[in-house]
Amino acid sequence: MNPFTWFIDEAVLKKERDKARKLRGSQWWKRKRALGICHYCKHIFLPKDLTMDHVIPLARGGKSEKFNLVPCCKDCNTKKKQQLPAEWDAYMASIKQ
């Protein structure tokens, strides 16, 4: 068994996804997304082109809490997958070289 593999209870995962869905409709999220800035690449996008990302992914033990949710472009969200912040930073550093 890989020691870095997280096993998330499906009920917990469903609960966290439901919390994220509710936050997506909140004024807090709408204001955050309205800035139009991707958290990762810092490029500017139309708000409708930004997605909600869990900085610490649900699959890695993250929660659907305001401190863990950021707007990001679809490209960064797809590339980040389930990486932790340190893993993403290492990835970004490797492609800048």
Kindly give the residue spans of alpha helices, DSSP state H, lying in the chain.
Answer: 10-24, 27-34, 74-80, 85-96
10-96 CATH pick, 1.20.1440.130, 1.10.30.50, 3.40.50.2300, 3.30.460.80: 1.10.30.50
Across residues 34-44, what is the average pLDDT? 96
| Rounded Cα–Cα distance for residues 69 and 51 (Å) | 10
pTM, two decimal places: 0.84
Across residues 21-43, what is the average pLDDT? 96
Compute how many other C-beta atoms are within 10 angstroms of the C-beta atom of residue 89. 12
**Residues forming a β-bridge with 51:** 72
Helix or strand run (H / E) with residue 25: none
Across residues 33-56, what is the average pLDDT? 96
Domain ranges of the chain: 10-96
